[in-house]
Amino acid sequence: MPLPGIPIEDIDTPALVIDLDLLESNIARMADFFSDIKANLRPHTKTHKTPILAHKQIEAGAQGVTCAKLGEAEVMAAAGIRDILVANQVVGRIKINRLVALSRHTDIIVAADDANNVREISDAAQTAGTKVNMIIEVDVGMQRCGVPPGEAALNLARVIDDHPGVTFRGIMGYEGHIIGEPDNDIRYAECRKSMTMLADTADYIRKNGLPVEIVSGGGTGTYSVTGTFPGLTEVQAGSYILMDATYKKRIPEFDCALTVYATIVSRLGDELAVADAGLKTMTNDMGIQSIRDVESASLIRQSEEHVKIQLPGASCPIRPGDKIHIIPSHGCTTINLHDRFYGVRNGVVETVWDIAARGKSQ
């Protein structure tokens, strides 16, 4: 494994590289935005899965972290992070016991959308002599998880309030169904509709006698709307820290700090080349990736271990052994294929970070 101080060219490929200057700029830019508004940033760690990056976000002003899975939360907790939201349902005896155990060492919050799940978590917490913080997931248009806005959310809030092993903290909703909309006007208008449902539900619960401390939502694609929306207390943006080619088209103010570093292994005539970064190295669920180094070149097809590159012609000097930077189309799923990041500054490896929550899907 390359050690700090070596030139980037000595990194064996394929590998995940972070431009540290761009990383730090992204963290600072988002922190600056939230420093002037009432809402807090609770960055989602499902993107980077790496405790030191979570600590950097918290040091810049973020309020704790968001995790997609309990396994990610356990990794963050082991790294000393206490304020953790699992923005997902934790279901089944094995996972509930892990959640309850984690609640003894952190201020963990878990999402719920089912009364039986609330009872099971409460019973387990009482048996262990602890309490679990809980928020209700409200379906604001994603049609994935969550109770409907309004009365259904109030009824579940009452269930949580009635059970001594859990503490009702608030609600959350994710407008993921519109995050990918390329038209800013449409994306932001639809986001406001979703956040209106969420904020109105919080007000409805309050009017019926229960306090709502947390109203959580948003993502990188809508942070500027959700962060300033009346009634929202926190935003779960995550991808902004590293970015990818898909988000860059929608949120250009953040830079792509993450690249897949790859080696050209074959030059097939004037117009085609092949690099060693296939589907086992970077995902294409958000479409084909972008190439950063070669002007007028484009990636055209991936197989398991290779990616084919369309070149502009014979004048392109690329040859086997050359190394290139590829910008992933989807950073979150690409990162989950790798064991470590190589942090680079001015062409030199400055640090190597293990992606400790990689593969923590349980």
pLDDT at 276 over 70: yes
Structure tokens at 147: 């109770």
pLDDT at 346 over 80: yes
Pairing of strands 298-302, 307-310: antiparallel
99 has which bridge partners? none
Distance CA 110, CA 23 (A): 29
Distance CA 344, CA 197 (A): 43
pTM of the predicted structure, to 2 decimals:
0.96
Q: What is the per-residue pLDDT across 133-142, written as a single tens digit (0 to 9) for each?
A: 999 999 999 9
How distant, in Å, are the alpha carbons of 90, 121, 342 from that of 94? 10, 11, 35
Distance CA 17, CA 185 (A): 33
The average confidence (pLDDT) of the chain is 97
The SS3 call for residue 240 is helix
Query: What phi and psi values does residue 19 have, to the nearest 5 degrees?
Result: -80, 110
Number of Cβ within a 10 Å radius of residue 290 = 20
Pairing of strands 307-310, 272-275: antiparallel
The SS3 call for residue 41 is strand
Q: What is the per-residue pLDDT across 88-114, written as a single tens digit (0 to 9) for each?
A: 999 999 999 999 999 999 999 999 999
Q: What is the per-residue pLDDT across 179-204, written as a single tens digit (0 to 9) for each?
A: 889 999 999 999 999 999 999 999 99
Overall size of the chain counted in residues: 362
Q: Which amino acid is at 224?
A: S
Nearest CA to 223 among 242, 210, 206, 236?
236
pLDDT at position 15 is 98
Are 214 and 171 spatial neighbours (Cβ–Cβ below 8 Å)? yes
160 φ/ψ sector (left φ>0, alpha ψ -120 to 50, else beta): alpha
Distance CA 285, CA 10 (A): 30
pLDDT at position 295 is 86
273 has which bridge partners? 267, 309
For the segment 24-43, the average pLDDT, to the nearest whole number, is: 97
Q: What is the DSSP string of 147-209?
A: BPTTHHHHHHHHHHHH-TTEEEEEEEE--TTSTT-S-HHHHHHHHHHHHHHHHHHHHHHHHTT
Q: What is the per-residue pLDDT across 69-91, written as a single tens digit (0 to 9) for each?
A: 999 999 999 999 999 999 999 99
Distance CA 343, CA 11 (A): 11
Q: Which amino acid is at 221?
A: G
Q: What is the DSSP string of 275-328?
A: ES--TTTS--TT---EESSSTT-EEEEE-SS-EEEE-S-TT----TT-EEEEE-
pLDDT at position 3 is 82
> Confidence band (pLDDT; 50, 70, 90) for 293?
confident
Q: Which amino acid is at 114?
A: D
Are 10 and 40 spatial neighbours (Cβ–Cβ below 8 Å)? no
Going along the chain from its start, the domains and CATH numbers come out as 8-13+253-354 (2.40.37.20), 37-241 (3.20.20.10)
Nearest CA to 123 among 90, 165, 156?
165
Which 8-state DSSP code applies to residue 231? T
> Confidence band (pLDDT; 50, 70, 90) for 2?
low
pLDDT at position 180 is 85
Pairing of strands 258-268, 15-19: antiparallel
